[in-house]
Amino acid sequence: MKDHFQDHFTMDSPQPRLLDETKQGVIGTPMDRPDGPLKVSGTADYAADHTPENVAHGVLVRATIARGRITGMDRDAALAIHGVLDVITDPRMIRNPAQGMAGAAPVQTGDAVHYHGQPIAVVVAETFEAARDAAQRLSIKYETEEAAVCPQTTPDTETDEPTAAGDFEAVWAEADVRVDRDYTTPSQAAAAMEPHAAIAEWHGDSVTLRSALQMVRFNKAELADTLGIDASKVRILAPYVGGGFGSKLGLGPEAAAAAIAAQKLGRPVRVVMTRQNVFDTVLRRSETAQRVRFGATKDGRITAISHDDRVSNIEGEGFSEPVSQASQFLYSANGLSFTQTVAKTSVTPTGSVRAPGEAVGMLAFEAALDELAEALDMDPLDVRLKNLPEKHPIDGRPFSARRLADCLTEGAACFGWSDRWQAGTRREGDWLIGIGVASAARSNMLVKSSARVRLTGDHAIVETDMTDIGTGTYAILAQITAEMLGLPAAQVTVRLGDSDLPGASGSGGSFGANSAGSAVFLAAKKLRAEIAERLGCDADTLTLQNGQARGENREASLAALVPEEIRAEATIKGGETAKSHFSSGFGAHFAEVAVNEWTGEIRVRRMLGVMSMGRILNEKTARSQALGGMIWGIGAALTEEMQHDPRDGHFVTRDLANYHVPAHADVPGDMQVVFLEERDDWANPIQTKGIGELGISGAGAAIINAISHATGKRVYDYPVLPDRMLEALEG
């Protein structure tokens, strides 16, 4: 066996397009997911599916006050229930340092209560039913403190220094046309299909945790820190994760509780949250209050842009929803200003939820831009095209690759934008019909990531602790390896979600495919060099296809060239290109809606997303990610709203019966996604960009703009529920 020691690659220069020169032809194809049959047959091993021998069941006990401290806990009634093993309180269960990753559980210590629903103990029993019953009977005494549970009226705030370029106030004062609007968005839940779950099992002084987690490399460090042990004593397994959307980025209380209880009891412990627990306890998206201002000349040239927002989180948490993230680079202006205020509340903490920032920020920003177009008496598409910047408006970096103008124009042609009618003039019976457009953007990232590729004959194995949260990681890593080594994808095995494997970026921020995929690419590239050496040709002349190697008039099978295993590891991390160029995915969303003038009901009739997001690795999984984001855009615009009791902050929309995600009837049959051909040489060695979050960015805004076009009226508090629509129609 020949080993290629791990190389560390830093992204410091634009990269050649090797994947455009390889011959296997699997990159970009709509290949089925290798894990698909396991998932549809129910045999994929999710966290809670694992049942070790003698496993005990834990149920989290959660605080019933918004703020204060625990003064007493009467365990007798709980311990008297048949099968109850213990009631465990331990500060480590509710202290999970973020390890630098936004989205980890909040730092809390001792007997302090910071929000209603905060985990404060775990009851462990022989059965789940006994543990649940005991958790409900546990008598707890509190000393309460005054709590701020309404972010809108919370005076205790922190205001950041504005991000600015030019003199906004001066330019704003001189603008010929001005739009100044306030918007609100409610809190949202990730609501992943798989509830949060963990099973911990100790072997001596080492622990194995099976859990639903997105970023295994970071989660391993978090658990080690929580338990006060060395990271070498921790193994995390998460081969399949049933959705995350940011809610499983960091180690949650269920994982810490399972590990602590298993160590104390000397047997495996499973802790699985109910759906209601997830809504109460797991990090949510912050509600927002936003003010957007546009100033422009009479001919439609934007001169002033300001996007200010107010969000919330609990004391001690540094995360804040980056609401104006995309607003800072979508359009050019002489004066720009962006300010954020954070209200400190005693409500379930906020964190990263799919496309943090753009998902809610663009609902307001792109709607305000349409209002500017109305004030200018211009086509909103033309206003967008007229104001695209040549470089990043704040820091001056050139864009690495950007086809936003093409997304807008090609989308308009495909959608039939030229047939657009005057607002409020088209109807079909009781239904008012309108169409809308919005730009889409999501900044692109590269996160340090490692992978190992092993090759024996014509079979390859890919190993990395990268996760697949339903996005298609098993498929794309198999395709990259197959393409690089000239193998059918069926002859590539992908192993994921095991912290004993090389540490990858994890799934989050739409950086997983870019980062883990680039590491796999670089490891396979090293194997190509070894194969070329064995064949006796230069690596640049090597062609690998269907298990055959060719180069410089030489040809041999991989089976003959690699009779014993060879393997290579590679690590990639960001470098100078992130400083010299700004990389982002771009797109345009188009929507047609029908609004019932008597009931306020809104139906989305068709949607189109046109996106430029670098190289597409798998057309099928990419399209699924884009469609999923667009559907979430429907929810953000029309249905999704977490509501809490203003007395103590507890959430009353605690399940999918009361928190309304778009159902089949809400989603139009006519949903199209178009990918424009693009390569971003400055982004990473495989020229890709993030997909999953670009699909939601701007999608809801296109629906909101279509509603305005249909009715001639606007709603400024989202989602646009029927009662809000009726109020606007009557106004």
Q: Which residues are catalytic?
A: 693
One-character DSSP codes across 613-682: -B--SBHHHHHHHHHHHHHHHHHHHHT--B-B-TTT--BS--STTTS----GGGS-SEEEEEEPP---TT
Return the number of other C-beta atoms located less than 10 Å from residue 368's C-beta.
Answer: 26
Cβ(279)–Cβ(189) below 8 Å: yes
Angle at which helices 722-730 and 699-711 cross, to 10°: 40
Asked if residue 442 lies in contact with residue 693, where contact means CB atoms within 8 angstroms, the answer is: yes
Residues 6+ positions from 290 with CB-CB distance below 8 Å: 182, 183, 184, 185, 307, 308, 309, 310, 323, 360, 361, 364, 365
Q: Residue 601 in contact with residue 722, Cβ under 8 Å? A: yes
Count of C-beta atoms within a 10 Å radius of residue 299? 10
Tokens of 179: 């739009």
Phi-psi region of 94 (alpha: psi -120 to 50; beta: other; left: phi over 0): alpha
Listed residue (692, 668, 679, 693) closest to 608, CA to CA: 668
- Euclidean distance between CA atoms 642 and 634, whole angstroms: 16
Q: Six-digit token pair at 562? A: 């690699």
Strands (E) located in 90-215: 112-113, 119-125, 139-144, 157-159, 163-165, 177-185, 197-203, 206-211
Contact 116, 72 (CB under 8 A): no
